[in-house]
Structure 1
Amino acid sequence: MSLLRKAHRVGATTAQWRRAELPPDRERFTLRARIGVLAALVAAAMVCLVSAAAFLVVQQNLTSSLDETLLQRAEAAAQTDLGNPELLATISPAVLGAADLRIALLYQTGLAVSSDDSSMPPYGDPEIAVARGKGSQTGRTEVLNGVPYRVVAVQAGPGRALVIAQQLDTVRRVVTRMGTALPLVGLGGVILAALAGVAVARTGLRPVQRLNAATERVATTGDLRPIPVSGSDELARLTVSFNAMLGGLAASREQQRRLVADAGHELRTPLTSLRTNLELLAAADRPDAPDLPPEDRTELLADVRAQVEELTHLVGDLVELARDDAPTMTTEALELGEVVERALARVKRRAGDVTFDVHLTRWILDGDASALERAVLNLLDNAVKWSPPGGTVRLSMIPISPEWVVVEVADSGAGIAAEDLPHVFDRFYRADTSRTMPGSGLGLSIVAQAAARHGGEVRAGRAPEGGALLSLALPGRHVDATGSP
């Protein structure tokens, strides 16, 4: 099983474990249901407030209207013969009952005169105060024999007042019906609000559901296809961001797949050759085997050492390139010329009869010394490999602006073909003419990686000397002989 399949299986298992650890109530009570409940609660609160306000306003308006009507009747009656006690006593109680009224003349002493005891309205100190000339009483509620009445009083001559009362049963009936209707209407509004909230949540959360489905699909199947985007709202932008993440993940997976495939291809040849040589050496050591000539044994051992060294370099290059997935590095202020000199010293020890034409300058930058030294070393190794015996490798540091310097490495070999120039910094890329040469095709890709980490870039071309010209551009600042920028 490949590493990618193992990673997919681990991701699926992790996603299933995370889903399993959610409480059952949390899974059943979805966000859509929570939005619907929230909408219902808000609607219920608004219905309660509106119903209470409507109830109080209607009750107050009905009571005020009844008070106004009673006052008008009382003032009109006080200006007629009803203000005469003798005439008031002759009014039939049936007439007053038909009008749903109780009328009486109240004297300042507290004595009240009415046509009948059944027509006597409730009264008290406020009405006696009106009889004494202390103003009109606009209306109040008084209970008589368990029945609420609305009572008003107006002056009907010196020392007396006309008191009129009417039952509140009409107002109470209206208020009762209203108190019954408002909760029913409010309940319907709450139900409609809950349904509307669920419908709106279902429509609004559809992109979120697609994102959720895509996340589960990625976790279970590793399918990194992008999600269709519709609209331009926040959820659409979230979908675009998620698609960008999926694209980056797909690119990373493809990069890993290519790295594993290419590494396997590059490792197969030296491993096969190493195994063959070791098997030949082991077979030669058997008692019944013919003697192996010393020169052949020496050649086989030299091949084994060369293959082990090649494998060592290849593994080192793979480890260096693997850091591209987590490009963390320790930066410090560096003098680039010193880094280049250390790399040059290492190359000279194994360069043979190749000579170097070196032109350095002082340049300060913030970076990783080991990564930059490895990059320059790979450029020089590549130039030495392609230079003919007795050839010359030119190494130059050329400031092209106050903020940029170019490290150029030119060899005196055959140069790079035009069709190979765009690919020389790709991983494991090897031109047809270099298939038989030692190397893994990773050295220049490490140079490109180091340049990218330091905010620089790499280029390949043809040198004036006729060979290949590889350039590494890096930011920084130039310093003079005194060390000042």
Structure 2
Amino acid sequence: MVASTQSWWQEKLHKLSLHARVTLLAAVAVGLAVAFVSIAAYVSVRQQMYQNLDKSLTDRASQAAKQQILTRQGNLVKFGPEALGLSDILLGVYTADGQRVGNSDSLLPPMQAPELAVAQNQDEITKRTVGAAMGTHYRVVAVPALYCAQPTGREDCDVDTDWEPAALVVAQSLKPIDRTLHNMGIVLWAVGLLGVIGAAIAGNAIAASGLRPLARLSGAAEHVARTAELKPIPIDGSDEISRLAMSFNSMLAALARSQDRQRRLIGDAGHELRTPLTSIRTNLDLLAQADKRGGLRPEDRQQLLDDVRAQMDELTNLIGDLTELARDTPQIRNAELIEMSNVVEDALIKVRRRAPNLEWDVSIEPFPVWGDERLLGRAVTNLLDNAAKYSVPEDAPTDGRPVGLVTVRLQDGVLTVTDSGPGIADADLPHVFERFYRSSEARSRPGSGLGLAIVKHAAEQHGGMIYARNAPGAGAQFTLWLPHAATQTR
């Protein structure tokens, strides 16, 4: 039952807006605080008033009990409420044998078992609240006393044996206290109600003011979803909501950068794809026209087909590079333990076939890493292809003699590839890893300008880095650093 009730309340609260929940929370919190304070104040005042009344009645009754209490024919003699200095009390004597004695012109106070216990010396002082006729409440106090009955009419009782134990009982109406507490309760209820209403109003104002930045943030998100405009929202202040807005702006900036990269990638890709496609179309048109005129010589036809095939290979490589870069994933998925030396050796086998007229100075040490073997293999192959391409002069002889040297070193996770080409111009060094960037010297050579961009992409994905510089002797030197598998998180 409790669980179902709690679930019902949770369901109702979840249906409320955050604004309504803040307002309700403020009202409930203040209401509970006012209720606790009111109850504490009411109980404290009530207890203090009762304590003061008890002390007053007890002191006066004890003082009066020291006087001589004489009774005659069931009435008190020369002993009335004025003996206690009070005129609004009921006064009586309760004897040990159960006799009730009082003034004939006034009501007797309530006298029952607790007061009889005092008369019989079984209790010292009793204090209690009792109800009487017409709903009047009395505070009744009984203290020990001695009385002397005068059935013969003597005014004094001189013999000690004439005095008998009894209880002097006094009772005072609680109407003034009840009225005061009633008025106090009304005031506390009124103040509590006003406090809850004020808290609800203040909570509503605070919610409206505090949630206004969230409303702007929500509006900005809806605007982005509707228009795809990644404009940052203005920020005022430095509170939690402002920091949330700053995070939102950072996300928008990241999305804008990613969108800009994608746009540039698409634009550059379109430009780069146009060249091989145009070349292929031109060669195919020439082949078709030649077939209409009787055909080409076998050697010319073969040269034309080889050119088309080379353009197709270039187009295939370009599409593969574009696919790899377009992923733009933040981290490697399904990483596995890889021996980097095996990756470098496999890449060397591939590149050596394509560059048989180069010398290779290779020194490789084992080094384990966590990562994507396919992506790392493509990156290393691109580095070696780049070194091979620039180590062969454009006017190199084709008789198979070595025309260049490529140095490859893998030590402690650092792969260094140094070619024997002309090096990199100082103006081009900061841009060699950008997508589709090609220096003026590289434009005359085959390539799309994506190879080194893929190397940088692979290095970043594996938590490493890549940088380029000119070797001390001659040629360009590329250094790829990767963290050891023991230091990488899987």
Same fold (TM over 0.5): yes
Quickly say closer, same or farther: Cα 1:184–1:476, change in 2 above 3 A. closer
Alignment match of 1:169 (pick from 171, 175, 187): 175
1:309 aligns with 2:313: yes
Equivalent residue letter for 2:96:
Q
> Residue 153 of structure 1 corresponds to which residue in structure 2?
142
| Partner Cα distance (2:50, 2:423) in 1 | 106
Paired residues for 1:126-137 under 5 Å: 126-137=114-125
Alpha-carbon shift at residue 170 of structure 1 (Å): 1.2
Match of 2:293, SS state, is coil
> Residue 424 of structure 2 corresponds to which residue in structure 1?
416
Alignment match of 2:440 (pick from 432, 437, 462): 432
Is contact 1:85-1:113 (8 Å) kept? no
Match of 1:159, SS state, is strand
Alpha-carbon shift at residue 213 of structure 1 (Å): 3.6
Is contact 2:93-2:100 (8 Å) kept? yes
Is contact 1:83-1:105 (8 Å) kept? no
Is contact 2:384-2:417 (8 Å) kept? no
1:405 aligns with 2:414: yes
Alignment match of 1:38 (pick from 21, 25, 30): 25
Paired residues for 1:66-465 under 5 Å: 66-80=53-67, 83-85=70-72, 88=76, 99-116=87-104, 118-146=106-134, 147-154=136-143, 155-157=145-147, 158-285=164-291, 289-294=292-297, 297-328=301-332, 330-336=335-341, 338-351=342-355, 354-366=357-369, 367-386=371-390, 387-388=392-393, 389-390=396-397, 391-397=403-409, 399=411, 403-412=412-421, 414-463=422-471
Deviations 1:39-84 (A, max 9, x none): 2222222222222222222222222222222233333444456645
Is contact 1:462-1:468 (8 Å) kept? yes
Quickly say closer, same or farther: Cα 1:464–1:164, change in 2 above 3 A. closer
Is contact 1:90-1:115 (8 Å) kept? no
| Partner Cα distance (2:229, 2:471) in 1 | 46
Q: Which has the higher mean CA deviation after the structures are superposed, 127-136 or 32-41? A: 127-136
Task: Give the share of equivalent positions with the same residue, in percent.
Answer: 45
State the number of aligned residues: 444
State the superposition RMSD in angstroms: 3.4
Is contact 1:405-1:476 (8 Å) kept? no
Equivalent residue letter for 2:358:
T
> Residue 9 of structure 1 corresponds to which residue in structure 2?
none
Quickly say closer, same or farther: Cα 1:251–1:105, change in 2 above 3 A. same
| Partner Cα distance (2:45, 2:337) in 1 | 80
Alpha-carbon shift at residue 441 of structure 1 (Å): 0.6
| Partner Cα distance (1:341, 1:456) in 2 | 20
Equivalent residue letter for 1:362:
E
Alpha-carbon shift at residue 335 of structure 1 (Å): 4.7
| Partner Cα distance (1:218, 1:41) in 2 | 38
Structure 2: runs of 5 or more not aligned = 1-10, 148-163, 398-402, 486-490
Is contact 1:107-1:160 (8 Å) kept? yes
Deviations 1:380-414 (A, max 9, x none): 32233332214213222164xxx3433223133x3
Alpha-carbon shift at residue 440 of structure 1 (Å): 0.8
Deviations 1:256-305 (A, max 9, x none): 121111111111222233233334444555xxx43343365444433322
| Partner Cα distance (1:464, 1:69) in 2 | 108
Match of 1:363, SS state, is coil
Q: Which has the higher mean CA deviation after the structures are superposed, 424-433 or 124-133? A: 124-133
| Partner Cα distance (2:230, 2:483) in 1 | 37
Deviations 1:428-485 (A, max 9, x none): 00122333432111111112222333443333333456443333344559xxxxxxxx
Is contact 1:104-1:113 (8 Å) kept? yes
Quickly say closer, same or farther: Cα 1:29–1:454, change in 2 above 3 A. closer
Alpha-carbon shift at residue 168 of structure 1 (Å): 1.7
Q: Which has the higher mean CA deviation after the structures are superposed, 360-369 or 302-311? A: 360-369
| Partner Cα distance (1:406, 1:92) in 2 | 116
